[in-house]
Structure 1
């Protein structure tokens, strides 16, 4: 039940993060801005997660973890209420920034809590169960929110997310253990742990993998309408299909992380590169676009749990802060991807060619993943007894 409560909160957070992409045309028209400018709402949210969440993680480091998670949900509810009421583009941007502050800190702390309440050998699967709420947001929350926004206006979607936030907070209050351990915190020790080469490499891989995804997915609604020729109803169904793929990939990633972590990361990224190249052609027809979009969803979210585990394992002396910072890394990648895609569109790149940019970014992620794995192999061969046992699973 604690994992389900964490998943319910993740569902609400994921819905408010991703639903804006399906609502970009409506938001842009209502607030009288261009679609690339509306796309900056994704960038602003992601940058707030990247640079704001670590401060919240530090501020709540000495708090009881249950209380800290409930406080973060309170910030989430307030931020979404302000999104629903925002009368202008810049006030909506400010509300999105406030909402995003809780995102990275919640997922970072929630991942550590999820891993701490299960048996060894199932910790990555526990993390993936919490992140299942994020993927289900793409299966249910985003398509339903997009359809609701089209029918009743985009503001109605954010009012519903506020209700979801209250329900998730109630579940957390009811089912989280009353006493979760408060770790001893030494900021100097945590900073040293976070400065290792492997931690930095893992976060860079997280950034690039997310940039590869969001450089295309941020603009998926106009891509599917203008290139594939779908109606807005068809876009909703495509988002549903993509969300099913994300959910499948999330659970697959948890099992792969508990099995062989870095080889799995390398294999998945290597698979994503030709898949995005294929999407450039597949997006021109409905059935090939649907199949490719589903498979891309599976592959994209297969990376989440392994990369989260990798960072926590390599920063064993700073698990909560490292977990939060990696959520910031994912969202920094989101921001870079959304910005790069918008910049490409501004300079005349057609929507159908955006997957080429995503594939190029994935190549850079693959290079870093191979480098990180080779460093592991070199350390094990040189002094296998000197390498400490991982904190939450195999690396």
Structure 2
């Protein structure tokens, strides 16, 4: 199971490099196509919206097929998208090939987690889940800043070349190292969908959406914010993305330990960062050292958002692990899409300096939903067994 978890982690690195690699090059892409930064943001928000609308249903449809084949097909589509994108096609085609792999992104994540934690005990299941989702932090500290650096040196197309390379490596690992994994026990669609009737689960999903949306109000325009508000050049922005990723790895490790004690408490702790960030960035002003310190905190609090959001929603539906995972991914990506779109409108009307404050509104709403859920039914204090 460890091998499967690490291959799942590698696959997630390639996925995150593709989905969020656009963030560091968004200003360059906008300039190349002669469009506004908020319109260029569609490349991120459309990707996330497709996941949000189709994720759970695609996961249910794929549940009957051999899991290795499902994972390989998913990464294969990401490889194709990266290869076409690096050719700098017309904007409509770039948007199209960006959107296609989004249909299978939640399928890969939910399948990788499900096979990694199958037959594992409670403590081990959570550790393996953290290994798979650790691909998000790993990409943040490695491929994302490298993609931004490559774009600064060789042009934005080089970023897509790195995305294609990572997808190719992940595809080879899946086909070479994973055995066939046919599905032996099929769960009925009804059993999976029944969780949608549970208020506890639905409130967890709303919190998931608001939490991810809160972070992506600002993170989606990370490069644009640092360039226009903090007056950093491309090289400095790439360095800040590296710092962001390093502290993010630390944050992910910290969250993994804290979740074993309290899912709700850990989620609330890292969600509080959405309230701290705008205040800290505002008072940092043009002081570069304080700004760098705040960017480090930004990464620390942001990185565990997908892990804590997944744990929070799975705690409400441990009996439907794969569906809950994919639903969590969909809700999170709806948050990415809406957070990016809302911040894009704020940028168009008021300026990029207000994006962290927009995230604060989402974050405050998420904390209110957590309080509502705790009043409806006490949140699980410990992570439930995630074995199938």
| 1:386 counterpart residue number | none
8 Å Cα contact 2:85-2:97 kept in structure 1: yes
| 1:273 counterpart residue number | 275
| 1:162 counterpart residue number | 164
Deviation at 1:85, TM superposition (A): 2.9
Alpha-carbon separation, structure 2, partners of 1:248 and 1:257: 14
Alpha-carbon separation, structure 1, partners of 2:353 and 2:247: 21
Alpha-carbon separation, structure 1, partners of 2:221 and 2:384: 38
Deviation at 1:43, TM superposition (A): 0.6
Deviation at 1:311, TM superposition (A): 2.1
Deviation at 1:271, TM superposition (A): 4.2
Deviation at 1:284, TM superposition (A): 3.1
Residues 203-352 of structure 1 correspond to what in structure 2 (within 5 A)? 203-347=205-349, 349-352=350-353
TM-score for the superposition, normalised by structure 2: 0.93
8 Å Cα contact 1:83-1:155 kept in structure 2: yes
Deviation at 1:293, TM superposition (A): 1.4
State the Cα RMSD in Å: 2.2
| 2:12 counterpart residue number | 10
Alpha-carbon separation, structure 1, partners of 2:296 and 2:358: 19
| 2:33 counterpart residue number | 31
Deviation at 1:339, TM superposition (A): 0.5
8 Å Cα contact 1:263-1:373 kept in structure 2: no
3-state SS of paired residue (1:179): coil
| 1:57 counterpart residue number | 59
Residues 135-178 of structure 1: per-residue CA shift (max 9 Å, x gap): 11111111111111122222222122212112111212333354
Alpha-carbon separation, structure 2, partners of 1:129 and 1:207: 23
| 1:359 counterpart residue number | 360
TM-score for the superposition, normalised by structure 1: 0.91
| 2:142 counterpart residue number | 140
Deviation at 1:73, TM superposition (A): 1.3
3-state SS of paired residue (1:121): helix
Structure 1, unmatched stretches of 5+, are 381-388
Alpha-carbon separation, structure 1, partners of 2:67 and 2:84: 26
In structure 2, do the counterparts of structure 1 residues 259 and 159 end up closer, same or farther at CA, with 3 Å as the change threshold? same
Structure 2, unmatched stretches of 5+, are none
Deviation at 1:317, TM superposition (A): 3.3
8 Å Cα contact 1:50-1:332 kept in structure 2: yes
3-state SS of paired residue (2:319): coil
In structure 2, do the counterparts of structure 1 residues 302 and 390 end up closer, same or farther at CA, with 3 Å as the change threshold? closer
| 2:372 counterpart residue number | 371
8 Å Cα contact 1:257-1:305 kept in structure 2: no
Residues 172-209 of structure 1: per-residue CA shift (max 9 Å, x gap): 23333543654422112221123311211111111111
For these two proteins, the number of residue pairs brought into alignment is 385
Most deviating of 327-336 and 157-166: 157-166
Alpha-carbon separation, structure 2, partners of 1:49 and 1:148: 28
3-state SS of paired residue (1:377): coil
8 Å Cα contact 2:281-2:294 kept in structure 1: yes
| 1:385 counterpart residue number | none
- Specify which of 84, 95, 98 is matched with residue 96 of structure 1: 98
Residues 372-391 of structure 1 correspond to what in structure 2 (within 5 A)? 372-377=373-378, 391=384
Alpha-carbon separation, structure 2, partners of 1:314 and 1:223: 36
Alpha-carbon separation, structure 1, partners of 2:294 and 2:386: 32
8 Å Cα contact 1:258-1:393 kept in structure 2: no
In structure 2, do the counterparts of structure 1 residues 172 and 274 end up closer, same or farther at CA, with 3 Å as the change threshold? same
Alpha-carbon separation, structure 2, partners of 1:126 and 1:114: 6
| 1:392 counterpart residue number | 385
Alpha-carbon separation, structure 2, partners of 1:117 and 1:222: 45
Alpha-carbon separation, structure 2, partners of 1:78 and 1:378: 42
